[in-house]
């Protein structure tokens, strides 16, 4: 307790040092909180699928690229020769243009996937009505 009183008196004697120390601590705590919030939402929360602990994503790499895409033939061979995974599906992120008759097109993000994609996720596709009525 004596050391704590001494430290508090020293901080009051040196207001410039105190301001720098408090600002540094506030900035560090704020940055750590922001980084944790982002990492928690991206990497630490469980996936919104049943049996998410049984999902894996397979990448193919090469010396030229970290995530080299599979060819359709390569994927089909791997799926047919699979003896490890319960289900194998492929998907690719892409953009689509949607337009109603007489309306300007709207660009939306989506995926192109194999027919067993939702089976592999043990999930169903979300059905929506895109018509603005």
* pLDDT at residue 130, rounded to an integer: 59
- Give the whole-angstrom CA distance, residue 35 versus residue 43: 12
Predicted confidence band of residue 34 (pLDDT cuts 50, 70, 90): very high
* pLDDT at residue 92, rounded to an integer: 87
Q: What is the pLDDT of residues 63-74, one digit of tens each?
A: 777 666 778 888
* pLDDT at residue 68, rounded to an integer: 67
Coil/strand/helix, residue 48: coil
* pLDDT at residue 115, rounded to an integer: 87
* pLDDT at residue 121, rounded to an integer: 86
Q: What is the pLDDT of residues 76-131, one digit of tens each?
A: 888 899 889 888 898 888 999 988 888 898 998 988 888 888 888 888 877 766 55
* pLDDT at residue 52, rounded to an integer: 78
């Amino acid at each position: 307790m004596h050391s704590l009183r001494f430290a508090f008196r020293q901080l009051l004697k040196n207001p410039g040092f105190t301001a720098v120390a408090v600002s540094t601590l506030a900035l560090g705590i704020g940055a750590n909180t922001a980084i944790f919030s982002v990492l928690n939402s991206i990497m630490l929360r469980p996936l919104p699928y049943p049996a998410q602990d049984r999902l894996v994503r397979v990448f193919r790499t090469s010396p030229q690229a970290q995530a080299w895409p599979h060819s359709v033939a390569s994927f089909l061979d791997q799926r047919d020769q699979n003896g490890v995974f319960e289900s194998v599906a492929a998907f690719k992120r892409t953009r689509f243009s949607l337009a109603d008759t007489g309306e300007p097109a709207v660009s939306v993000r989506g995926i192109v996937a194999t027919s067993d994609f939702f089976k592999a996720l043990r999930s169903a596709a979300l059905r929506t009505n895109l018509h603005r009525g």
